[in-house]
Amino acid sequence: MSSLVPAPDGLVGGRFDVAAAKMLGVSRAKAAELIEAQQVRLLGRTVHKSSALLAGDVVEFDIAEEQHETEPIADDMAIAYEDEDVVVVDKPVGVAAHASVGWAGPTVLGSLIGRGVHITSYGAPGRQGIVSRLDVGTSGLMLVCKSELAYKEMRRQFAQHEVVKIYHALVQGNLTEDRATVDAPIGRAKVSDFRFTITPAGKPAITHWDVLERFGKATLASVNLETGRTHQIRVHFSSIGHPLVGDAMYGANPVLGSKLGLDRQWLHAMRLEFRHPRTHVWTTVDSHYPPDLQHALDVLGAERADHDSADRDHADRNRADSDTAESHAQTV
């Protein structure tokens, strides 16, 4: 089955083979081979590998997919919202957005298709309908497009940062401010292909946060992403000395994560707000905490209650001792 992708704005004006290579994640030589074989082409006009990609072009991929073992389906992945154009899933931890090299577990795309949900053919091969992603270790709301109209419009909305993405994050320590913004560029870390870091050579990244609840040893915050860089929330909070609880990759204390029963970072995509691609009605979809994240909060809440109770008992004893001493002094 062919896949259709509107020419990305950042690649317009460049060579077709260079654009195809970046869109597919392959070498330029491999992209040139696919163009020559007409497995990668443009709708409506004939071009060569050196032809310039123009605004409004639609790239068509007709690449045979490799045969893999049947992908497991995430049966516990709830659908939070669905209509003829979009579907918003509440992604569990341990589910990838789409198939990738080395990943044998369930994916959002594969699970939707396996359930019989129609997904648009627009998008790179294996990533049809996907306009934004969540990490395997992050749970919460993720939008997938069912129609071509939705894919084009939602891709634009995400690219223009018009979609409101609210996450809840539990970070180590007590944040000194009730609200703040981290504005720092993010790029790949030189020490690892999987880690990201603050670097002047990175892409602009802006994270706004507000404190929701304080537990002393950790703080629950509502996070509004103005941009959507890979690992943005994890990198930004780590950079200010407050890594996400359970996020060992970015410096979290593993003892605390283990004590709270966490096997991953405490991060959940809590709300999506967007203008519906067909009706243009402002649409809001909400989620709730999964059991492992709620359990961590319950443990912290119980510890805080015990600590507050101990403080009250101590204060009561001090007052009683003071009253006794004062009474004794008056008697004398």
What secondary structure, in 3-state letters, does the chain show?
CCEEEECCHHHCCCEHHHHHHHHHCCCHHHHHHHHHCCCEEECCCCCCCCCECCCCCEEEECCCCCCCCCCCCCCCCEEEEECCCEEEEEECCCCECCCCCCCCCCEHHHHHHHCCCCCCCECCCCCCCECCCCCCCCEEEEEEECCHHHHHHHHHHHHCCCCEEEEEEEEECCCCCCEEEEECCEEECCCCCCCEEECCCCECCEEEEEEEEECCCEEEEEEEECCCCCCHHHHHHHHCCCCECCCHHHCCCHHHHHHCCCCCCCEEEEEEEEECCCCCCEEEEECCCCHHHHHHHHHHHHHHHHHHHHHHHHHHHHHHHHHHHHHHHHHC
9 given a catalytic annotation = no
pLDDT above 90: residue 313: no
- The average confidence (pLDDT) of the chain is 88
Residues of the chain with CATH 3.10.290.10: 3-61
Q: What is the predicted pLDDT for the residue at 67?
A: 44
d(CA 132, CA 130): 6
Q: What is the pLDDT of residue 70?
A: 72
Q: Give the CATH class of 163-287.
A: alpha beta
Indicate the pLDDT class of residue 320, thresholds 50, 70 and 90.
Answer: low
Determine the pLDDT at residue 59.
Answer: 86
Percent of the chain topping pLDDT 70: 88
CATH 3.30.2350.10 positions along the chain are 67-160, 163-287
pLDDT (tens digit, 9 = 90+) per residue, 89-111? Answer: 999 999 999 987 667 889 999 99
Q: Which one of the listed residues 17, 62, 90, 135 is annotated catalytic?
A: 135
pLDDT digits (tens, 9 = 90+) for 131-178: 999 999 999 999 999 999 999 999 999 999 999 999 999 999 999 999
pTM of the prediction? 0.76
Burial label for 303, CB within 10 Å (0-12, 13-18, 19+), is middle
Tens digit of pLDDT for each residue in 182-234?
999 999 888 766 789 999 999 999 999 999 999 999 999 999 999 989 899 99
Domain 67-160 classified CATH 3.30.750.24? no
CATH number of 3-61: 3.10.290.10
